[in-house]
Structure 1
Amino acid sequence: MGEVVNVIVAFAVIVFIFRWVTSGNDSPEQRSAVSALGFRPKPVTQDMVDTISNMFPDIPADNIRFDLLRTGSIEQTTNKILERGFLDAPPAAYHTLYPRNTAPAPTGAPAPTAATTATQKKKTESLISRYHLEERAQTAENIQEEQLGGKAVWEDTAERREASLRERKAQMILAARQRMLAQQVAQEKAAN
């Protein structure tokens, strides 16, 4: 029985010495991060966060960075997203250590990338303008909805099938626009 107590005491002393030796290398910022987060943060670069953000744009960047601080691995974080479908939100202590960048971009900042301008353009661009249907939208007022859509015929060549698909897309967009306009008119009449 006395040997078991000696082994437990020796093990506790070894663990204490190991923790004391390894914690001596930490800076005060690292010690505060460890105490606030509950784990030793791994180094994370913005490229790592961007890589995962590009794969999963619906996951918030703070959630990605917090999980990367925990794992230190893009693969582990990606697997966690694929398995669970989400990442845990960081605790409040995370935001004190890693505040969000809400400040406006400095004047010497690089211009917006093509990806950001493309997403801004997508938000403001309508389907009518995206598929260049402005002229057809003005003349579509006279077309009956039964004429739009219909069954597609299997074409002989890939080019003709592609053209048929494009035409059906345009017809569906115009039909949806007509339904929306009719609904707006009905709502205006109901309001009066």
Structure 2
Amino acid sequence: MGEVINVVVAFAVIVFLFRWLTTSNVSSSERSAADTLGFRPKPVSQDMIDTISNMFPDIPPDNIRYDLLRTGSVELSSNKILERGFLDPPPPAYFTLYPREANAEQAARPAQAGAATSTAVKAPKKSLIDRYNLQDRVVQPGPLISEEEVGGKAVWEDSSEKREASLKERKAQMILAARQRMLAQQQKNSSS
């Protein structure tokens, strides 16, 4: 009977030592993240999230980060989006580790920076007439240009310069015809 007790105590000591040695290698933050999420999260950088966000702008950043924490690979997450069309939303426990405020600030910074540069680069809105320099070709409201005259069927030109000139002319005709239709519609609405 004494030998059985010695074996049980020895087994308990070995199990205790084994658990103590294997859990001491993992830091407490990783342990708590693994306990919270239900898996050991892989390292994820902001570049990884940005890469997938640029490829799939309709996928929320939280979904991307959660999937990257699970897979640790941009390729696997991208393939999952391509195959399924979406990524699973993170569970509520995810937001205890990664609150939305931090993600919203990171997402807002590049968006605000992009908005600032795009507004600085863009001039005030121009009309198509101004953009394509058609001021001298603007016709006063009169009979509408027929659809055959507007686009018509293009003839394949010999050189690329002629094809480009033909395309520019067709664009100009379409813009002018659209302007005429818009003015006629405005005149019709104002008279009624």
Alignment TM-score > 0.5, same fold: yes
Q: Under TM normalisation by the shorter chain, which class is it?
A: 0.5 to 0.7
Which structure 1 segments of 5+ residues have no match?
1-12
- What amino acid maps onto 2:32 in structure 1? S
Equivalent in the alignment of 2:166: 164
- What amino acid maps onto 1:157 in structure 2? S
Please report the TM-score for the alignment, with normalisation by the length of structure 2: 0.62
Q: CA deviation at 1:133?
A: 5.5
Q: CA deviation at 1:126?
A: 6.9
Inter-CA distance 65–170: structure 2 relative to 1 (3 Å threshold): farther
Q: Is the 8 A contact 2:71 2:77 kept in 1?
A: yes
Deviations 1:78-134 (CA, angstroms, capped at 9, x unpaired): 11122222222222222232123345989xx9x935x97349978x96773895467
Equivalent in the alignment of 2:42: 42
Inter-CA distance 88–154: structure 2 relative to 1 (3 Å threshold): same
Distance in 1 between residues matched to 2:67 and 2:51, nearest whole Å: 14
Which structure 2 segments of 5+ residues have no match?
1-13
Q: Is the 8 A contact 2:63 2:90 kept in 1?
A: yes
Q: CA deviation at 1:68?
A: 0.8
Inter-CA distance 158–82: structure 2 relative to 1 (3 Å threshold): same
Q: CA deviation at 1:23?
A: 3.7
Distance in 1 between residues matched to 2:140 and 2:50, nearest whole Å: 44
Query: Radius of gyration: which is bigger?
Result: 2
Equivalent in the alignment of 1:144: 145
Please report the TM-score for the alignment, with normalisation by the length of structure 1: 0.62
Inter-CA distance 155–77: structure 2 relative to 1 (3 Å threshold): same
Q: Is the 8 A contact 1:149 1:171 kept in 2?
A: yes
Deviations 1:134-156 (CA, angstroms, capped at 9, x unpaired): 73796485552533222111111
Equivalent in the alignment of 1:64: 64
Equivalent in the alignment of 1:89: 89
Distance in 1 between residues matched to 2:36 and 2:187, nearest whole Å: 57
Inter-CA distance 159–75: structure 2 relative to 1 (3 Å threshold): same
Distance in 1 between residues matched to 2:86 and 2:50, nearest whole Å: 16
Inter-CA distance 73–148: structure 2 relative to 1 (3 Å threshold): same
Distance in 2 between residues matched to 1:119 and 1:57, nearest whole Å: 21
Q: How many residues align?
A: 170
SS of the residue aligned with 1:112? helix
Q: CA deviation at 1:51?
A: 1.6
